[in-house]
Amino acid sequence: ALDSVAGIRAVLCLFEGVCTGAADGYGRMTGSPALTLLHLGPGFANGIANLHNARRAHTPIVNLIGDHASWHLEHDAPLTSDVESLARPVSAWVRSVEHANELAPAVAEAIAAARTPPGGVATLVARSDAQWNDAAGPRAAQAPAPAPAVPPKRIARAADLLKAPGSPALLLGGAALRGDPLRRAQRIAAGSGCRLISDTFVPRLERGAGVPPVERLPYFPEQARAFLEPVSALVVVGSRPPVSFFGYRGQPSLLAPDATESFVLAHPGEDLAGALDALAERAGSAEAAPSLAAPPQPEPPTGGLSPETLGAALAATQPEGAIVVDEAATSGLPWFLASAGSPPHDLLGLTGGAIGQGLPCATGAALACPERRVIAFQADGSGAYTLQALWTQAREGLDVTTVLCSNRSYRILQVELARAGIAEPGPVARSLTELDGPPLDWCALARGFGVPASRPANAEELATALQKSFAEPGPHLVQVDL
Amino acid sequence: ALDSVAGIRAVLCLFEGVCTGAADGYGRMTGSPALTLLHLGPGFANGIANLHNARRAHTPIVNLIGDHASWHLEHDAPLTSDVESLARPVSAWVRSVEHANELAPAVAEAIAAARTPPGGVATLVARSDAQWNDAAGPRAAQAPAPAPAVPPKRIARAADLLKAPGSPALLLGGAALRGDPLRRAQRIAAGSGCRLISDTFVPRLERGAGVPPVERLPYFPEQARAFLEPVSALVVVGSRPPVSFFGYRGQPSLLAPDATESFVLAHPGEDLAGALDALAERAGSAEAAPSLAAPPQPEPPTGGLSPETLGAALAATQPEGAIVVDEAATSGLPWFLASAGSPPHDLLGLTGGAIGQGLPCATGAALACPERRVIAFQADGSGAYTLQALWTQAREGLDVTTVLCSNRSYRILQVELARAGIAEPGPVARSLTELDGPPLDWCALARGFGVPASRPANAEELATALQKSFAEPGPHLVQVDL
């Protein structure tokens, strides 16, 4: 059918986790669902981790899982499994279709479910007889449910919180992190004096020179709590009151200190733009956007390679309109700080914590936005999860620059060991956090998948390699030894 | 704890699917469960596909999944998911532990569950507070339930079927495919005149010169039905009446023709050896093992590279005691036919059809049997799923030779398209079955993971490369362009 129905671009991935991660990147950039085509329960299972991230990002995705013929299922052939049990934890909508006549309406319903605000994962299991039997013609598209408006009582309460004495803040998520809603939030901040904060891991954040700046909540709970300490009230728009990524002994799960009131103005699926408009009327709003004194874009750095010089080199060279997929983990913070004044760009984060998202998500973002450069800012440990994405980038000629942060360790696990009081792990525990012996040769791996690669020796060479890759079409990998 | 408790070998894998596949290979070779250590729902999810294969192979495995602290779960932090819903489809036993005092007994129970015949996947979800809170000391090991004996009535019925006029056969599975039970089955065959047949995909089959030969059921249903046509009665020992891998239009699910009576003598979890002993008494058995005129081991071939010369080269050179993990898919049949007279070896098959099993399974088999050479006989499409296994092979110095069959296509999909009546697929459908553009450079990929590699140009060079790799310690990859 792909050869007879126009308007579908079929993209082959070497692993389902690449496919679902690419669908996540595509959906985050377009707001429309990509369709994944997956093979029974085990094929779907390979895509679950990145669907988990997509679920947390509220990305619209439609999964189409081909399953056995309905009459074959009872015989429990080797590939048979309980697909729905696997699908439910990551899906907002699941349905199995047995009859050909149900397939077209079910697909229309799946697309509508995926597009229903705030967006979600819709999983359709199609028995093979439902695919090969005769059926009535296609079904017209079905409109997604609209985003419900936020009740006036909540608007009033949020406005009171912003106007009360103290130091309130707006915690923004989802569609409030970009475009008009973000600018509306900025004018509310200018008018009311509140701060703008985002979650640590964002589906898609617009930032850079000239874009309203948003402070990012720190990752570790004690840092996050210290960051929120001065905040008198946290008015949440399109997110949730922030929760610690992990639960630690003797630390609470909720990050806002007791003295900080958290109030959800708009849940993710509600009309965020309308809520911000209404809030602006009640809480005050600057007439025009404040003129921003953006921090300067840094100069390309000199010296050895480190997270700091890497961050500066990337921030100094990234082109306007770049899409930065940030799975750099412990290597990423210096870039985030350095790039506040870089040309406007989008930041796509690891919303669900399921590592192995970066290279696939970058692949999908590049498919969605062929006119923009995508930067896969990638840690090595997580990059090794789904490195097969590089092949799809080569095959489709996608403009993706992978900046591979090679620190040859699961650094975050070393940090967590220390946080758990194990300052000097024994040799076995330590070895489970080390990726040396042998180190991964990322240039060889990239070339094996058809992607050219380079390995700069210092910060100057790194900046040159980045500039060269941004100027040339197609994918490139830069291995940065940290 | 891994540094203070002796007797555990900790092996790091770059992806959970490698870890679970390695546990499958280890369990198939030792009969004892390896323990996988996995990170919340998404980490477990990455391992599901190979656990699906392990479930079908009845491999003992214990999964230990670290989950959030019990009091943190309700806050639905980013990595939170319904782990049990993900675990149930591949697990014979699932339990979540909230309290530290329950953890040791639960682990003992998990190990016993994994070892209960015929073996299975046991999944234990441990909240992190159950891991860090104080608890009473360790719990003694718990004996698995014994395999139930087969009732005499079934023995009598099976004996009647073997003695009745016609051409009966024993269909062997599980533990009946090796060791004493296989030799007992051979004597029954010699005594009663029945044939010995195995499923198409076997957990572990002993074969080669001097080993009782077992015929393998063909893969495609029409071939399997033709193969079974002359069989008057199929007496099943440790398997199930055979089922078509997929359901095809107008073809039945069950492979045995109507005239062939299928009778299950012993289900997989029952006492197979005892059932064969009892059957030998009732149905007749040769006093001694028949002397076997094994087909000769082939000479190393000459000429170009093809599935036929590859199969001959491998069959001609494979060392005694080799463990062949067969995920060669459409490139594998010539080797299977050519190796009947090769030195005794074990064959490990793709029991669940979830591709991406070969390289991980070979890794685990090599960990289990350091004195034997493991041959990962691997197709390229499925090999790309979990190629990260090569790194663990390099790191642990495992004696694994990967024979990478590079036909640059999902050949089986091309076959299935043709079987579905699409003899000339359009360019889009065809492109989704082709791995060219760019072709994978498997030597570069292997070197990127620290594994030396070679790419012979013809059959002579191939045989030389194989011999060299079998003689040298450590892993090696041979890319065979077909």
pLDDT digits (tens, 9 = 90+) for B423-445: 899 999 999 999 998 999 999 99
pLDDT over threshold 80, residue B292: no
User: Stretch B178-202: mean pLDDT, rounded?
Assistant: 96
From the list A238, A201, A203, the residue with the least C-alpha distance to A364 is A203
For helices A358-368 and A48-57, the axis angle rounded to 10 degrees is 60
According to the model, what pLDDT value does residue B358 have? 98
For helices A16-30 and A358-368, the axis angle rounded to 10 degrees is 50
pLDDT over threshold 90, residue A293: no
Buried b (16+ CB within 10 A) or exposed e, B49-58: bbbbbbbbbb
Closest-CA residue of A relative to B434 is A12
Taking the C-alpha atoms of residue A13 and residue A361, their distance in angstroms, rounded to an integer, is: 12
Give B447's contacts in chain A (Cβ within 8 Å).
Answer: 441, 444
Taking the C-alpha atoms of residue B122 and residue B72, their distance in angstroms, rounded to an integer, is: 25
- Hey, what long-range contacts does B434-437 have (CB within 8 A, 24 or more apart)? B434/B408, B434/B409, B434/B410, B435/A14, B435/B380, B435/B381, B435/B384, B435/B408, B435/B409, B435/B410, B436/B408, B436/B409, B437/A395
From the list B244, B240, B203, the residue with the least C-alpha distance to B55 is B203
Q: Is A152 exposed, middle or buried (0-12, 13-18, 19+ CB in 10 A)?
A: exposed
Enter the tokens of residue B458: 């013809």
According to the model, what pLDDT value does residue B139 have? 77
Contact A77 B244 (CB under 8 A): yes
Contact B381, B329 (CB under 8 A): yes
Max CA distance (Å), chain A: 68
Give A68's contacts in chain B (Cβ within 8 Å).
Answer: 246-247
CA A259 to chain centre: 31
From the list B258, B253, B470, B266, the residue with the least C-alpha distance to B375 is B470
Contact B244 A56 (CB under 8 A): no
Closest-CA residue of B relative to A427 is B3
Q: What is the pLDDT of residues A36-75, one digit of tens each?
A: 999 999 999 999 999 999 999 999 999 999 999 999 999 9
According to the model, what pLDDT value does residue B463 have? 98
Taking the C-alpha atoms of residue A22 and residue A28, their distance in angstroms, rounded to an integer, is: 10
Closest-CA residue of A relative to B424 is A3
According to the model, what pLDDT value does residue B294 have? 78
Best B246, B355, B412 residue to mutate vs chain A (most A CBs within 10 Å): B246
pLDDT over threshold 90, residue A136: no
CA B320 to chain centre: 20
pLDDT over threshold 80, residue A387: yes
User: Going by C-beta distance under 8 Å and a sequence separation of 6 or more, which residues neighbour residue B20?
Assistant: B36, B47, B48, B50, B51, B54, B61, B63, B360
Q: Which of A352, A387, A420 sits opposite B78 (nearest CB)?
A: A352
Q: What percent of chain B has pLDDT over 90?
A: 93
For the entire predicted model, the pTM comes to 0.98
Closest-CA residue of B relative to A11 is B432
According to the model, what pLDDT value does residue A133 have? 93
pLDDT over threshold 80, residue A292: no
Among A117-126, A405-414, B292-301, B469-478, the minimum mean pLDDT is found in B292-301
Contact A379, A329 (CB under 8 A): yes
User: Stretch B229-257: mean pLDDT, rounded?
Assistant: 97
Q: How many CB pairs under 8 A join A and B?
A: 244
| Average pLDDT of the residues of chain B | 96
Enter the tokens of residue B235: 């007496």
Give A88's contacts in chain B (Cβ within 8 Å).
Answer: 82, 85
* Per-residue confidence band for A423, with pLDDT thresholds at 50, 70 and 90: confident
Best B4, B14, B50, B65 residue to mutate vs chain A (most A CBs within 10 Å): B14
According to the model, what pLDDT value does residue B251 have? 94
According to the model, what pLDDT value does residue A294 have? 78
User: Stretch B44-49: mean pLDDT, rounded?
Assistant: 98
Q: A274: helix, coil or strand?
A: helix
| ipTM score of complex | 0.97
Alpha-carbon gap: B419 to the closest alpha carbon of chain A (Å):
13
Q: What is the pLDDT of residues B368-425, one digit of tens each?
A: 999 999 999 999 999 999 999 999 999 999 999 999 999 999 999 999 999 999 989 9
According to the model, what pLDDT value does residue B245 have? 97
Give A77's contacts in chain B (Cβ within 8 Å).
Answer: 243-247, 253
pLDDT over threshold 90, residue B9: yes
According to the model, what pLDDT value does residue B38 have? 98
Taking the C-alpha atoms of residue B83 and residue A90, their distance in angstroms, rounded to an integer, is: 11
Q: A117: helix, coil or strand?
A: coil
pLDDT over threshold 90, residue A291: no
Q: What is the pLDDT of residues B306-322, one digit of tens each?
A: 999 999 999 999 999 99
Taking the C-alpha atoms of residue A411 and residue A413, their distance in angstroms, rounded to an integer, is: 5
DSSP-assigned letters across all residues of B74-108: GG--TT---HHHHHGGG-SEEEEE-SHHHHHHHHH
For helices A307-317 and A459-471, the axis angle rounded to 10 degrees is 30
Give B406's contacts in chain A (Cβ within 8 Å).
Answer: none
User: Stretch A173-193: mean pLDDT, rounded?
Assistant: 96
Best B75, B84, B129, B440 residue to mutate vs chain A (most A CBs within 10 Å): B75
Q: What is the pLDDT of residues A204-245, one digit of tens each?
A: 999 999 999 999 999 999 999 999 999 999 999 999 999 999
Contact A170, A185 (CB under 8 A): yes
Q: What is the pLDDT of residues B319-370, one digit of tens each?
A: 999 999 999 999 999 999 999 999 999 999 999 999 999 999 999 999 999 9
Give B40's contacts in chain A (Cβ within 8 Å).
Answer: 353
* Per-residue confidence band for A466, with pLDDT thresholds at 50, 70 and 90: very high
User: Stretch B216-243: mean pLDDT, rounded?
Assistant: 97
What is the enclosing helix (H) or strand (E) of B357?
Answer: none
Give A435's contacts in chain B (Cβ within 8 Å).
Answer: 14
Radius of gyration from C-alpha coordinates of chain A: 23
Alpha-carbon gap: A471 to the closest alpha carbon of chain B (Å):
22
User: Stretch A267-288: mean pLDDT, rounded?
Assistant: 93
User: Stretch A452-479: mean pLDDT, rounded?
Assistant: 98
Q: Which of B4, B79, B437 sits opposite A352 (nearest CB)?
A: B79
What is the enclosing helix (H) or strand (E) of A314?
Answer: helix A307-317
Beta-bridge mates of residue A481: A406
Taking the C-alpha atoms of residue A90 and residue A84, their distance in angstroms, rounded to an integer, is: 10
According to the model, what pLDDT value does residue A284 have? 86
According to the model, what pLDDT value does residue A137 have? 74
Contact A105, A44 (CB under 8 A): no
pLDDT over threshold 80, residue B138: no
Q: In the structure, how many helices (H) and strands (E) does chain A have? A: 19, 16
